[in-house]
Amino acid sequence: MEFDHAFHQAGFVPAMQMMVVGSLLAPGIMGRSDLYLIFAGRVASLVVTFGPMGLLGYLLYAVSRLV
């Protein structure tokens, strides 16, 4: 219930997007391009690996709420 409520608040999703973008851009701004490349590579790998499973979990949760 609380998880579903958090996503329906007005500024939750844009705030999460800004946090993700900020964490990706901060090492690049600091001039640590090696750290930025390692971090971006790991994040991309995790998104590709766990993104579809997270989406499937959310879809199953949303469908279970319909019944």
Reported pTM: 0.43
32: left (phi over 0), alpha (psi -120 to 50) or beta: beta
Q: Are 43 and 24 in contact (CB under 8 A)?
A: yes
Q: Cβ atoms within 10 A of the Cβ of 65, count?
A: 9
| Cβ within 8 Å of residue 36, ≥6 positions away | 24, 27, 28
What per-residue confidence (pLDDT) applies to 33? Answer: 73
Model confidence pLDDT, tens digit, residues 17-66 = 788 777 777 777 777 777 778 877 888 898 888 888 988 999 999 899 88
Rounded distance, CA 9 to CA 11, Å? 6
The pair of three-digit structure tokens given for residue 47, joined into one six-digit string: 């998104």
